[in-house]
Structure 1
Amino acid sequence: MALVIDETIEIDAPAEKVWEVLTDFEHYGEWNTFCVEAASTLVPGEPIDMRVRLGANTRTQREWIRSHTPGTEFSYTMKPVALGALHSLRSHTVVALGPNRSRYESRFTLAGWLSPVVVLALGKHLRAGFGAMTAGVGERATTH
C-alpha cells in the first residue's frame, strides 16, 4: 500500500510570493526544518539535491525533476529501485486565490512493495516533516 501525504494551506500572500519562497533553495535553512538544504535548476531530467531531516538524523539525497511550470508547480521523483521495490513522487503547487491570497498544495507519494518497510521506519518523520514544511512556507511567505 502506498503512503500518500497531502498537505494544503491557504496563505495571505500573493501566489508569486509563495512561489518565490518555494524556489529560493538557497534560503531553505532559514525556515524549512524538514528540507534544510536544496539545490536545483528545476529543469526536467536534472537533479534536485537535498538535505532532509528525519527525526534526529539528516540525510543527503538526490532526486530528479519530473515537471516544472514556472510560477505554478514543480515535481520530482527518486530514481526507482529495481523490480518496482520503491518509487516516489513529490509535488509542489501554488494556486492564486486572489491578488493577495494563495493556496500551497504539497503532495508526496511513496509506493512499491518495499514501501511498507520504509513507512514503518520513517512514516512518522515524513508526515511530521511535510507538515512542518507546509506550515513553514505559509509563515515565510507572510513574514518576508
Structure 2
Amino acid sequence: MSLVIDETIEIDAPAAKVWEVLTDFERYGEWNTFCYEASSTLEPGSAIDMQVQLGSNRRPQREWIRTHTPGVEFSYTMKPVPLGALHSLRSHTVVPLGADRCRYESRFTLAGWLSPVVKLALGKDLRAGFTAMTAGVGKRAVA
C-alpha cells in the first residue's frame, strides 16, 4: 500500500513569485518548518540535499532531481532501495490561473513493499510536514 500525500492550494500571487519561493533554497529556513534547508542546481540527475524536520527529529535527506521545467515544475526521487522495497517521487508544480493568481500542487508518493512500515512509522509526521510546507509556500508568496 503506497503512501500518497497530495496538497493543493490557490495563491493570490503570480506564478513567477511562487516559483521564486519554491526555488530560493537559501531562504527555506525563513518560512519552511518541514524542509528548513535545501540546496540543488535542479539539473536532472543532480542531488538535492535537504535538512528535514520529522516530528521532533531533524535529519539530512539526499534525493535526486528527476525533472525540471523552469517556472513550472520540478521533481525528485530517493535512491531506490533494492528489490523494489522502497521508492519515492516528490513533485512541485505551479499552474498560473491569471496574472496575479496561481495554484501550487505538491505531491509525494512512497511505494514499494516496505512502504506500509514507513507509513506506519512516519506517515503522520510526513503528512504534517508536507501540509505545513504547502501552507508556508502560500504565506511566503503573498507576504
Query: Structure 1: how far apart are the matches of 2:4 and 2:61?
Result: 20
Are residue 45 (structure 1) and residue 36 (structure 2) matched?
no
The residue number in structure 1 matching 2:119 is: 119
- Does 2:13 match 1:13? yes
Q: CA deviation at 1:65?
A: 0.1
Q: What residue number does 1:91 align with? A: 91
Cα RMSD of the aligned pairs, angstroms, is 0.3
Name the SS for the 2:80 alignment partner.
coil
Deviation of 1:132 (Å): 0.2
Q: TM-score, normalised by structure 2?
A: 1.00
Residue aligning to 2:134: 134
Identity fraction in percent? 82
Q: How many residues align?
A: 143
Local SS of the residue matching 1:117: helix
TM-score (normalizing by structure 1): 0.99
| Partners of 1:118 and 1:35 in 2: CA distance | 18
Residue type of the alignment partner of 1:70: P
Report deviation, 1:15. Answer: 0.0
The runs of 5 or more residues in structure 2 that have no matched partner are none
Give me the whole-angstrom Cα distance separating, in 2, the residues matched to 1:48 and 1:117.
25
Cα drift, residue 3 of structure 1? 0.4
Q: Which residue does the alignment assign to 2:77?
A: 77
How much does 1:95 deviate?
0.4
